[in-house]
Amino acid sequence: MSSPVQPDKKAIRISAEDAAALVQPGMWVDYGFGLGQPDVFDAALAARKTALRDIRIRNSLSVRPRAVLECDPDCETFAIFNWHFGGYDRRKHDAGQVNYIPMNFGEAPDLYRRFIERVDVACIRACPKDSNGIFNFGPAGSYQKAMLERARIVIIEIAPQMPYVHGPENGVHESQIDFVIDGDGREMVEAPNPPISDIDRAIAKYVAAEIEDGACLQIGIGGTPNAVCSMIAEAGVRDLGVHSEMMVDGIVDLHDAGLISGARKSIDKGKVVFTFALGTKRQYDLINNNPAMICHPVDYTNLPHNIMRNDRVFSINSTTQMDLQGQAVSESDGFRHLSGTGGQLQFVRGAYASKGGKSFICLSSTYDKRGEPRSRIVCELTPGNIVTTPRTDTMYVVTEYGMANLKGKSVAERAKALIAIAHPAFREKLEREARQNNILPRWFR
């Protein structure tokens, strides 16, 4: 476990190969989160495949291919355990190389401090040391600090190209680091924005109409949330605040339009708050060394009791399937794991608890499967599907056909409300199935 700050202690600079040599058979290695995952160390560790065995690696939201997976498709040496999937992680899970660790994202620091028994080696990318001896985590704060506290050996891979992001806990002092290695200097990974469809715009129109001056926004990932930001910008709502899990390009659009001031926030007044960023260079340029952009640990951004401290929190997220009682499936397709619980449930709860707050779960009414349109609103969830947001927590549900508030509604009222915003081609079938299963009693009209 890393030691307390000792101002005179200096981290030792070594090569990536020497750093990888610190990993011994049977060890647990942590790569950290998103843009903070190491690249040079990863390649050096992969090169030791034949000299190692039973190496278990934790990571989350990989933004580049992991050398330890590419060199070991049969997992003879390296096994990966992942807190939240990106597209690459999903493909590797489909191939049987990655296993998911369920979590509410905001609990991640506490999980490391209370329940993760071993972190033998931790290596993350960070900005070069600043004048105070701090290696800044850049746009990947999340749970990094708690993870490093648990590690027996801490290695920093220097990334001069990483944006320096302000935040009271968004870094680690060199006295708490054992070794430093040089990164490869590659440009930051950019995540292109998915195109905004006509369906996204139709959904966004309903959500944007609910946003008030002074609202505090949490924006999720995807075409619909970005469309919501575009609609908000067109509506000209003022004095918006941001307290979000992820920094997305839609927030950059609102900032550049002069609509974000944070003036009416109760905490972090005047600041845009997030726990990680992933987007385009335009986003990275905005957050780089900008004191108005603050990266906090994820237990600060995502725990409901902290979210609710701001009034009028508006949480906007997407889901892939919902049943007629309001259970939202946002991380799986049957037994195929897609992403993770992330912060959706915690922001749904935090927004509801916020004075005047609202949470919105958005979904297109249909999707295409092997050339056949299917309804995302269903009477019965696909077998194996994981419920991300329970029916008791779901508030506003939005499709391109309308918006339904499920709070305070009976099971029958929920079913009627959701059938009304399903695709017209499926409404009759949904009502029939609801009556067959006594979700809609025979007397209910």
Residues contacting residue 428 through CB under 8 Å, at least 6 positions apart: none
* Element containing residue 80 per DSSP (H, E): strand 78-82
Closest CA to 104 of 375, 307, 323, 299: 299
Q: If you write DSSP's letter for every residue of 200-264 in order, what string do you get?
A: HHHHHHHHHTT--TT-EEEE-SSHHHHHHHHHHHHHT--SBEEE-SEE-HHHHHHHHTT-B--TT
Residues contacting residue 400 through CB under 8 Å, at least 6 positions apart: 199, 202, 203, 364, 365
Sign of CA dihedral 165, 167, 173, 176: negative
Whether 107 sits among the annotated catalytic residues: the reply is: no
Dihedral angle over CA of 152, 154, 155, 160, nearest 10: 170
Look at residue 266 and give its three-state secondary structure.
coil
* Element containing residue 358 per DSSP (H, E): strand 358-362
HEC string for 152-174: CEEEEEECCCCCCCECCCCEEEH
**Exposed, middle or buried by CB within 10 Å (0-12, 13-18, 19+), for 436?**
exposed
Interatomic CA distance for residues 21 and 32, integer angstroms: 19
Residue 356's identity, in one-letter code, is: G
Q: Which of 245, 331, 400, 431 is catalytic?
A: 245
- By annotation, the residues acting in catalysis are 245
